[in-house]
A and B are shown apart, each in its own frame.
Chain A
């Protein structure tokens, strides 16, 4: 079965760092883009950025460039989304998804940033 499994929910304080993960299985991880999508509470989907694990080609939305870092470790079929200094406004559900049109989605990771 093709699937993406994301790491669990996180509760953090402002200023802390965080790295969440997305593990692919059931397909060739290096042959498909993996994208990250933010959904703030009660809001729509926002495309954050995308990585091609085969060569680590990475692109970012201008809205998220410099705010997050996307990476991947193809040896363990896992993509990552990380923050160096979280803000309360980073509170959201984060999804990873496969491909250019996102045909497979992870279950989502809820990130809560609160003092």
Chain B
């Protein structure tokens, strides 16, 4: 089973700053089947990025994903107040199990 390790655990930033979140896999993620989700308190998660770098429908272009193999990054170019949340990566290329990372909390500094 592929293990995903996200870093940092918490990121303290101000609105307008750039956020860089990391997701490292214990083995190569096939075909870049890597997704990123945002979750706010009391809400279901929302898909942001799939295929490592493709934005989901309706996701603003300040969100971007990159990477391949075992190292992936989610970048938020300029933090808006509504972007403070928890972010999870997920791999869905290695059957039979498709795992989540433990999450990175982006909090207001």
Contacts and interface: CB of A to CB of B under 8 A. Distances in A.
Interface of A: 35, 37, 44-47, 50, 59-62, 95, 97, 100-103, 105-108
20 contacts: A37-B45, A44-B86, A44-B101, A45-B37, A45-B90, A45-B100, A47-B98, A47-B99, A47-B100, A50-B98, A59-B97, A60-B97, A97-B45, A101-B51, A101-B92, A102-B35, A102-B37, A105-B44, A106-B44, A108-B44
Contacts of A100: 33, 92, 98
Interface of B: 1, 33, 35, 37, 39, 44-47, 50-51, 56-57, 86, 88, 90, 92, 95-103
Contacts of B35: 101-102
A95 B96 contact: no
Contact of B95 (A46, A47, A59, A106): A59
A44 B100 contact: yes
A100 B92 CA distance: 6
Q: Determine the main DSSP class of B at the interface with A.
A: loop
What 6 pairs across the A-B complex have the smallest Cβ distances? A101-B50, A59-B96, A101-B35, A105-B44, A100-B92, A44-B103
Contact of B90 (A62, A95, A101, A108): A101
Nearest to A58: B96
A4 to B, nearest CB: 9
